[in-house]
């Protein structure tokens, strides 16, 4: 468990320029994570292509982000993370998907 700072899990994924993808994951967030305190998304470097926020959950919740890959891009980073609110907090991430 973490009490402060930003915590992020990432996975690099090869993609085809111009293609449309839906990236997904199942995420369980502890009761201490405030609404909107978690993020699931897709980025190129620091540029976010798509992102969904989330908060505490009672079990795993499926999150999806649709994106269109820009020209010349062959790899993106899928991420799930949160900014800890100063008390013990965690997320559990399972089953990243690409469709």
Domain residue extents for the chain: 2-98
* pTM of the shown model: 0.90
Residues near 85 by Cβ (< 8 Å), separated by ≥ 6? Answer: 32, 33, 34, 37
Residues near 11 by Cβ (< 8 Å), separated by ≥ 6? Answer: 77, 78, 79, 96
User: In angstroms, rounded to a whole number, what is the distance separating the alpha carbons of residues 26 and 51?
Assistant: 14
2-98 topology per CATH: Jelly Rolls (2.60.120)
> Tens of pLDDT along 4-57?
567 899 999 999 999 999 999 999 999 999 999 999 999 999 999 999 999 999
> Tens of pLDDT along 66-92?
999 999 999 999 999 998 888 888 999
> Tens of pLDDT along 15-24?
999 999 999 9
């Amino acid at each position: 468990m973490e009490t402060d700072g930003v915590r992020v899990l990432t996975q690099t994924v090869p993609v085809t320029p111009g293609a449309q993808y839906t990236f997904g994951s199942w995420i369980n967030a502890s009761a201490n994570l405030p609404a909107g305190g978690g993020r699931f998304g897709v980025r190129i470097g620091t540029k976010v292509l798509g992102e969904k926020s989330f908060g505490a959950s009672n079990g795993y919740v499926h999150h999806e982000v649709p994106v269109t890959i820009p020209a010349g891009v062959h790899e993106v980073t899928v991420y799930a993370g949160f900014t800890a609110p100063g008390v013990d907090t965690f997320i559990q991430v399972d089953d990243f998907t690409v469709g």
